[in-house]
Amino acid sequence: MAQKGRVVESTGRWYEVSYDEDGGMETINCRLPGRFRLKDHDLTNPIAVGDYVEFEINDDGSGSIEKIEDRQNYLLRQSTHHEQDAQILAANIDRAYVVQSIRKPKIKQGFLDRFLITCEAYQIQASIIINKMDLASENDLDYANFIKDLYESIGYPVLMTSIKEEESLQQLKESVKDQTSVFVGPSGVGKTSLLNHIDPAIDRKVGDISTYNEKGKHTTTFAKLLPLQQGGFLMDTPGIREFGLVNIEAWELSLFFPEMLEPRKQCKFNNCTHSHEPGCGVMQAFEDGKIDPDRYDSYLRILESLQEDKN
């Protein structure tokens, strides 16, 4: 008889599935039949952490996944090792948090924008965390406030946090309560440290920062969906150096920049790329100071990369 559960960890070969057994939660290691891999040959992982599945228990105590339930949503990025393939980072999530640090390593605005584009494209609520604020200089504080003002003005909540300042974590603790959330960001920005402070019972391993290049060392090898004592689930993910876009065409890119949605309606041409065309509503909004220069520059750089990929 098939049982239902949720994938809480994937190692590539095995999937740890959590399920209800007589009123208590149990976990079982499951394998995935080859037919699923053939069906989703363009994905490096046909099953993702957060997926709901049906499985059969084998005689040896392991499980065999028989069905993957339809996903509410999923967070997708280009695979780093197979450029033609995509990787599902998380499935069935209420909110995705892109975590950056004010120092060691510094904020990468291009990473932020690509992450937010993906959340817009796949209908995922997104927030930004600027962590390690205890390391901030006066100039850093100015930049952090600039980022906060900019992204909150276009609809993305921004939290400034430090594990050394408990008060800064309270809003984050409240926002993840009774939700399924995921933390995504480069190595070393403090994703796991934040998670450990949200719920000390989790006690995940934390890594060091390289003194040579101020980049984090990988400590989270596989994504893990962790239950919170206060209610809800939080997913810790391995550090990501770049966030590659998947299944997004150049012509639709501006649809995923909230500040461009209204101005683009004024464009003279339906296929306007908002980069050089006459009568462009987006370019006019930029010239009128209604679109931030950094965001418009980011749009142009991403547009160029999408156009190059197509050629």
| Alpha carbon distance, N-terminus to C-terminus of the chain | 50
Measured CA to CA, the distance from residue 184 to residue 207 in angstroms comes to 16
Which residue(s) pair with 90 in the sheet? Answer: 75
Mark whether 49 and 161 lie in a shared domain: no
Mark whether 134 and 61 lie in a shared domain: no
Q: Average pLDDT for residues 39-48, to the nearest whole number?
A: 75
Closest to 227 in 3D by CA, of 176, 174, 161: 176
**Looking at residue 221, what is its pLDDT?**
57
Mark whether 217 and 287 lie in a shared domain: no
CATH classification of the domain holding 287 = 1.10.40.50
**Looking at residue 240, what is its pLDDT?**
87
17, 41, 68: which is the final residue of a domain?
68
Mark whether 290 and 203 lie in a shared domain: no
CATH classification of the domain holding 186 = 3.40.50.300
The strand ranges marked E within the chain are: 3-10, 15-21, 24-31, 52-57, 63-68, 74-78, 86-91, 95-101, 125-131, 158-160, 180-184, 224-227, 233-236
Closest to 251 in 3D by CA, of 234, 239, 267: 267
Mark whether 175 and 284 lie in a shared domain: no
Q: Average pLDDT for residues 64-74, to the nearest whole number?
A: 94
Please give the mean pLDDT across all residues of the chain: 89
Residue 79 lies in a domain: no
Owning domain of residue 17: 3-68
**Looking at residue 309, what is its pLDDT?**
78
Mark whether 257 and 232 lie in a shared domain: no
pLDDT of 219 higher than 90: no
Q: 76-133, pLDDT tens digit by residue? A: 988 765 566 788 999 999 999 999 999 989 999 999 999 999 999 999 999 999 999 9
Residue 243 lies in a domain: no
pLDDT of 220 higher than 70: no
Query: Is the model more confident about 212 or about 176?
Result: 176
Q: 163-172, pLDDT tens digit by residue? A: 999 999 999 9
**Looking at residue 308, what is its pLDDT?**
86
Mark whether 100 and 232 lie in a shared domain: yes
31-45 burial by CB neighbour count: b if 16+ within 10 A, else e? ebeeeeeeeeeebbb
Q: 258-268, pLDDT tens digit by residue? A: 999 999 999 99
